[in-house]
């Protein structure tokens, strides 16, 4: 303004834009902000007043000083509010993280501590069950069943608590058809119409024991909600580079309003988890999520429900049934 009076207030505007940009990169404390604001206002006002005295600027240019300062102050106010909100969110997030860690540690510790007394009590109850007669034997049977259920609940809580650990999975190639055939063999004694549906000759990279546990949880859920004369079918298919393992049944079906919450911990949305702890499907979600896949549920055409595990496909393999038929003597 001093060197080139014809530029009017261009340098003055440049100063305000510059400090605004600088403030946007780093929100200053209140003291430095007020100091810089007063310094810039004073300097620019003096410069414009000197130009006015020389006749280079009209007097109304002085009104731009408080206007620009007010705009800058408004921007400072919004920036500081945003900064305060961001810090509050960070504090809440950190608090939630610590709370989740404490809950996780508590579940791990409690599950470990419960396993020993449950095992000891279950052993004594089984001894009484085996040696007693009549009413005492019936009572011991109830105790054994409830302790077994409590031990299973403790194991599931421990599994959920460790699902995010780096060593949670022992990955290896697993043939999809093999693991489904093994599942059918384990559950065959349960009176249901068991079926092996469509099958894909593929293998996935997975922890065989964990994946079998997830499929067992789906089958257990299907058994709970079907009658002995109803069907439960296991199948597998390809879908967009994923292997879809499905467990479908002719049971009571799913409440559509609760489908989105079925795989949440302690959820009992619809009939799929009715009467249970709400952990079975949460374990399914945790295991398949650790494998880089997902789980979903829906209604089965004609009645019943279908639960599916989506797993990344590794490669195609020779189907187990073909390998068995090719062996000598088969």
Q: Look up the pTM and report it.
A: 0.59
Which range has the worst mean pLDDT, 73-82, 220-229, 231-240? 73-82
Show the domain range for 194: 172-326
pLDDT in tens, 251-309: 888 877 777 778 876 555 544 444 455 677 888 988 999 999 999 998 888 788 999 99
Q: In this structure, is residue 167 part of a structural domain?
A: no
pLDDT at 317 exceeding the cut of 60: no
Examine the fold and report which residue of 162, 185, 219 is the final residue of a domain before the chain moves on. Answer: 162
pLDDT at 156: 78
183 and 258 assigned to the same domain: yes
154 and 229 assigned to the same domain: no
72 and 150 assigned to the same domain: yes
How does residue 79 score in pLDDT terms, banded at 50, 70 and 90? confident
Q: In this structure, is residue 205 part of a structural domain?
A: yes
177 and 154 assigned to the same domain: no
Which range has the worst mean pLDDT, 172-181, 184-193, 228-237, 316-325? 316-325
User: Torsion over CA of 239, 240, 241 and 244, rounded to 10 degrees?
Assistant: -20
Number of domains in the chain: 2
Q: Which sign, positive or negative, has the C-alpha torsion 139, 145, 148, 150?
A: negative
Examine the fold and report which residue of 125, 141, 162 is the final residue of a domain before the chain moves on. Answer: 162
Q: In this structure, is residue 296 part of a structural domain?
A: yes
Examine the fold and report which residue of 123, 139, 162 is the final residue of a domain before the chain moves on. Answer: 162
CATH number of domain containing 205: 3.30.565.10
Q: Would you give the distance in Å from CA 41 to the centre of its chain?
A: 52
3 and 147 assigned to the same domain: yes
CB hemisphere CA count around 175 (13 angstroms): 13
The 10 Å CB-count burial string (b at 16+, else e) for 303-320 is ebbbbbbbbebbeebebb
């Amino acid at each position: 303004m001093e060197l080139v009076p014809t530029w009017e207030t261009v340098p003055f505007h440049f100063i305000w834009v510059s400090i605004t940009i600088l403030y946007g990169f780093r929100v200053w404390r209140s003291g430095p902000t007020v100091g810089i604001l007063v310094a810039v206002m004073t300097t620019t006002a003096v410069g414009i007043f000197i130009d006015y005295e020389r006749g280079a600027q009209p007097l109304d240019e002085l009104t731009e000083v408080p206007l620009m300062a007010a705009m800058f102050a408004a921007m400072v106010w919004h920036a500081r509010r945003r900064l305060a909100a961001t810090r509050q969110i960070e504090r809440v997030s950190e608090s939630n993280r610590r709370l989740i860690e404490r809950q996780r540690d508590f579940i791990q510790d409690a599950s470990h501590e419960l396993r020993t007394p449950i095992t000891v009590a279950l052993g004594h109850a089984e001894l009484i069950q085996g040696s007693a007669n009549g009413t005492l034997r019936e009572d011991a049977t109830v105790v054994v069943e409830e302790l077994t259920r409590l031990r299973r609940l403790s194991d599931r809580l421990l599994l959920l608590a460790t699902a995010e650990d780096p060593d949670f999975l022992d990955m290896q190639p697993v043939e999809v058809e093999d693991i489904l055939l093994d599942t059918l063999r384990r559950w065959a004694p349960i009176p249901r119409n068991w079926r092996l549906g469509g099958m894909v000759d593929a293998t996935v990279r997975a922890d065989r024991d964990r994946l079998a546990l997830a499929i067992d949880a789906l089958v257990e859920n299907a058994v709970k909600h079907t009658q002995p004369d109803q069907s439960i079918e296991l199948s597998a298919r390809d879908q967009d580079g994923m292997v879809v393992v499905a467990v479908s049944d002719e049971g009571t079906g799913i409440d559509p309003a609760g489908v989105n919450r079925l795989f949440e911990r302690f959820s009992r949305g619809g009939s799929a988890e009715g009467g249970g702890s709400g952990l079975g499907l949460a374990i399914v979600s945790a295991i398949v999520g650790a494998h880089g896949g997902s789980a979903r549920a829906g209604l089965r055409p004609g009645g019943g429900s279908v639960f599916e595990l989506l797993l990344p496909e590794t490669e195609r393999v020779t189907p187990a049934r073909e390998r068995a038929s090719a062996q000598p003597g088969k």
